[in-house]
Amino acid sequence: MRAMQTRKSTHWLLYCRPGFEQDCAQEALRQARQQSPVIAAQPPILANSGYAVVALNEQALAFRELIFARQLIRLHQTINPLPERDRLTPILAAIAALPDQFGALWLEVPDTNDGKTLSAFMRRFQPLLEAALREQDKLHDGATLPRLHIFFPDKSTALIGSSDPHNSAASIMGILRQSMPAEAPSRSTLKLAEAIETFIDRGEQARLLRQGMTAVDLGAAPGGWTWQLVKRGIRVTAVDNGPLKGVLAKHPLVQHLRQDGFKYAPHKAVDWLVCDMVEQPSRVAKLIEGWFVAGLAKHAIFNLKLPMKQRIAALEAALNSIRSRLDNEGINYRLQAKQLYHDREEVTVFITRTRK
């Protein structure tokens, strides 16, 4: 058993979409450097592993501000090699040495094909470990207590860490899973459904997504995002040269305009603007900020498609463009961005006007 070095540095485990490990680590380190220089030696990044480990001094990371991280876990110990015939004993010993009690036990694996092969083991191991931890008085039912994470990147390794319920994702593996609705015309509907749950709490949803509101969906076809709005009783102008499919083709709450989304503007302001067009992030950013400056929308959810290289630089340029323009216009707003589980080479952004 090898304990992680804790005197000079604190190690943080972050889950991410496979292929975005460098972006995830780079973003976390950049956030930390805004507080003070990072002098800790950095662990290697494993490409396409679905996770990254970063070493910090005493800097704190704000999960809500991390775009590429699905989860934020303070890493306490790594056990490697993990005995194949008795994984329970060394894991229990490592947890017993931790000072905290925990309110939940989450056994997790990377969101990769190799990770999925461990699912059967996880189902067998979870009740055994949970029962032992309750007997040790380490595990209780408490929403405010830190969560205990046991992460298995492979069969011979266990990373043991904890997360703060107020500074982490509330879903196992940091994945807010959605079921595909039978009537929705495309799987893209899951992106908007996840975005709504991620960015807008239930109380806000009742206020911001009310029946009778109006919305514009730019690049709507075949209608996955329009469907999410219509099912909430929102009247949608769907703008796309392509056709809408299924129930949306003749839906009474949908007006379909075969126009270019970059050229369309409504005659009067709407409550919502949503946009999932395949275009350079800088061009989409200019489009969105133009709508807000003109007072054409109160709230927006949109995707920024990322380039193959310099993804963080392109994303920051687009977001900074929006922030700068809205700040210069004296517009009060809240902006959040996240690479969601249902996103691919993209990041989803939420903007809402706020009061002073």
pLDDT of residue 9: 85
Q: 315 with 347: CB under 8 angstroms? A: yes
8 assigned to active site: no
288, two tokens: 């969105």
* 235-239 vs 214-218, strand pairing mode: parallel
Q: What is the pLDDT of residue 8?
A: 65
Q: Please, what sign has the CA dihedral across residues 183, 226, 186, 66?
A: negative
In three-state secondary structure terms, 335 is: strand
Residues of the chain with pLDDT under 50: 1-7
* pLDDT at residue number 7: 45
**Pick the catalytic residue: 305, 309, 338, 356?**
305
Residue 84, pLDDT score: 87
pLDDT given at position 107: 98
Domains and CATH numbers, the chain: 2-174 (3.30.2130.30), 189-353 (3.40.50.150)
User: pTM for this one?
Assistant: 0.94
Q: Give the per-residue pLDDT at 348.
A: 98
Report residue 247 as tokens.
């129930």
Q: What's the pLDDT at 356?
A: 72
